[in-house]
Amino acid sequence: PLPHVTIDGITIGTNEDVKLGKVRVTPDLFSLLQSTKVIKSIEIDSLVLTRKAIDRIPAWAKLDDAGSPQAAPQVRVENIRLHDAVLRLGQADLGPFDVRVRLDSNGEPEEASIATQDGKLKALVKPDKGKYLIDASARSWTLPLGPALVLDELTVKGVATLNDASLGEVSAKLYGGTAIGRTTIRWQKGLQIDGRFDVRQLELRQVASMLSPGTRVSGKLNAKPVFSASAASSDRLMNALRLATLFSVQNGALHGVDIQKAANQLIKQGTAGGETRFEQLSGHLVMERGSYRFTQLKIAAGALAADGTVSISAKQELSGRINAQVNAVGTSSNVPLNVAGTVDAPLLYPTGGTIAGAAVGTAIMGPGLGTSVGAKIGSWAEGLFGNQDEKKPRK
């Protein structure tokens, strides 16, 4: 091995903002007699950078740039290698990474290669007129922040500075579908992110439960989400996320709720369980601070058609109204249903006007036709007078 110097256990900052497990410096012995001393490589094991250290990098860079560019450097480093490096961002860690940086004859970075130790994520960074060009790719890689989505393939191209990154080309294959778009990340003061994507043919069964625990829906999703978030640290980013999109889901099912059964049975205490299979489900979604609001909902499911509005609170509580139209041979019924319960245990129950109308119709004309006609008249009258009965059913 070449002669080298090793230093162990270096920490910087009162709160150990920078920790270096081991530093190995290998000099070029023939340069020791020259005006510029050359260090062939600096190898750092187990580097840990906290958020405070990352925030100071732009200031450190300005101090470095303040020196005279014409003066020959007294010490020149050819290569820097990091092994098992970790970025500690609040409660979340990024890494471990292996990094190699090659420097030119002036000590300026020529390129940096970054890879996770499992080899699933690789990136190449090259300086370009005060900025840095990013070219990254990944396979079978799990997102380190937010929901643990697994990306089968990922390619990213963009431009970064010491304060932000603009990723203009992002393309991913995941859960049988694709996502193509762009995003911008800023970290000078806290952490901000915004962007937009075009999502096509994404299988929802696994993804929905990651985004909203307990949600059970399947089918192929098409959407064009626009999102933004601003938080003091990365672990608070998901709670600050706002996302809006039109969406459509094909050939899927809403599990845990049977809309057609609830419309047919008119049970005052509500209907739970079952599933609603559909050819298409579409609408508009706004997700903000852990809550979800679905508007312009439309469901096409054979003999069933439905529309309405549903909200999911940050506590996973359901509320809203669905208007169900059930078509049978020679007849059609429209039944407004209130939505209640939780994501884990959704509940559908008819409105008060529908129940009252069904009771009157049954008394006058008998069960069956009388019930259906009365329910229709009751729901019509309720809509006419603007009664939005979304209270929980009485037991």
Q: Which position has the higher pLDDT, 57 or 348?
A: 348
| Strongest mean pLDDT among 265-279, 300-314, 351-365 | 300-314
The answer to which of 29-33, 295-299, 304-308 has the lowest mean pLDDT is 29-33
Please give the pLDDT value at position 254: 92
Which one-letter DSSP state was computed for residue 336? Answer: E
Please give the pLDDT value at position 380: 47
Q: Which position has the higher pLDDT, 273 or 58?
A: 273
Q: What is the pLDDT of residues 69-87, one digit of tens each?
A: 555 667 888 899 999 998 8
* 150 three-state secondary structure: strand
* 58 three-state secondary structure: helix
Which one-letter DSSP state was computed for residue 273? Answer: B
Please give the pLDDT value at position 288: 93
- For strand 304-312 and strand 291-301, is the pairing parallel, antiparallel, or unpaired? antiparallel
Please give the pLDDT value at position 366: 42
Are 329 and 354 in contact by the 8 Å Cβ rule? The answer is: no
Which tokens in the block code for residue 238?
């998901």
109 confidence band (pLDDT: 50, 70, 90) = confident
Angle between helices 369-384 and 352-365 (to 10 degrees): 140
The amino acid that residue 282 corresponds to is S
Q: What is the pLDDT of residues 116-155, one digit of tens each?
A: 999 999 999 999 988 999 999 999 999 887 788 999 999 9
Please give the pLDDT value at position 147: 81
Are 200 and 220 in contact by the 8 Å Cβ rule? The answer is: no
332, 357, 380: which is closest to 266 by C-alpha?
357
Q: What is the pLDDT of residues 331-385, one digit of tens each?
A: 667 788 889 999 888 998 887 545 544 444 444 444 444 445 444 544 444 554 4
Please give the pLDDT value at position 18: 83
Report cis status (omega within 30 of 0) of the bond before 96.
yes
Average pLDDT over residues 273-298: 94
| Strongest mean pLDDT among 24-28, 41-45, 86-90, 293-297 | 293-297
The mean pLDDT value of the chain amounts to 81
Which one-letter DSSP state was computed for residue 107? Answer: S
Please give the pLDDT value at position 335: 81
For the chain, domain boundaries: 1-117, 130-254, 256-395
| Confidence (pTM) | 0.78
Q: What is the pLDDT of residues 158-184, one digit of tens each?
A: 999 988 999 999 999 999 999 999 999
